[in-house]
Amino acid sequence: MRHMGTHQLETGRLILRRFTMADAELMYRNWASDDNVTKYLTWPTHANISVTRSVLENWIAGYNEPDHYNWCIELKDIGEPVGNLAVVSYKDATQSATLGWCLGARWWGHGLMPEAGKAVLQYLFQEVGFNRIVAQHDTENGRSGRVMQKLGMVREGTFRASGRNNRGIVDEVVYSILREDYEKTYADTMQLTWKRKS
């Protein structure tokens, strides 16, 4: 594998880019302060914008590392960040990574997360060299499971009491996609540009 960090990606409706401190207000307003968004997440709803700024400081510092992958999802039509998508863990030994994401509730149901996810899959498989990408969701969060299905992921099973989020200890459904699956499914049809950031 060749770790390359968080480079800017672009799809038809989205720009996937690095976060900046200028994103704090919109991140707080568009998703981080919404209990509906954070219900199934591992981090709590931000009580105020100071929390958001602190989180962003940590995320932005991570961009100095070549194995840090955390994209701000910006919707082109409005020029605002509406969510994020990140590699939350990875294993070099097995060339595998686990994805996590969230999106502001106002933009649910419009296919934005599958669009962003396909771009990130292409980047992680073709540019970085991962062989396996994993995602999991609380069994009560079927919406996230549908995103995984739209990404071409295969359901591997349900792991009882294996996760913890804002609901407590929960059962998790695990999905995965291998590079060979991705290449068979839509590698040739995905339109994406990515730009190296200095």
Alpha-carbon distance 114 to 119, whole Å?
Answer: 9
In a domain, 97, yes or no: yes
Is it the case that residue 100 has pLDDT exceeding 80?
Answer: yes
In a domain, 25, yes or no: yes
Phi-psi region of 85 (alpha: psi -120 to 50; beta: other; left: phi over 0): beta
Alpha-carbon distance 124 to 118, whole Å?
Answer: 10
Tokens of 192: 């994406």
In a domain, 27, yes or no: yes
Residue type for 187, please? A
Alpha-carbon distance 136 to 98, whole Å?
Answer: 8
In a domain, 195, yes or no: no
Average pLDDT, the chain: 94
User: Residue 198's pLDDT is what?
Assistant: 39
Predicted TM-score (pTM) of this structure: 0.92
In a domain, 192, yes or no: no
For the residues of the chain, what is the DSSP string, one character each?
A: -------EEE-SSEEEE---GGGHHHHIIIIIT-HHHHTTSSSPPPSSHHHHHHHHHHHHHHTTSTT--EEEEEETTTTEEEEEEEEEEEETTTTEEEEEEEE-GGGTTSSHHHHHHHHHHHIIIIII--SEEEEEEETT-HHHHHHHHHTT-EEEEEEEEEEEETTEEEEEEEEEEEHHHHHHHTTTT---EEE---
In a domain, 168, yes or no: no
125: CATH: 3.40.630.30
Is it the case that residue 196 has pLDDT exceeding 60?
Answer: no
In a domain, 172, yes or no: no
pLDDT digits (tens, 9 = 90+) for 14-53: 999 999 999 999 999 999 999 999 999 999 999 999 999 9
**How many domains, the chain?**
1
Domain encompassing residue 42? 8-131
> 188 or 48, which is more confident?
48
pLDDT digits (tens, 9 = 90+) for 155-165: 999 999 999 99
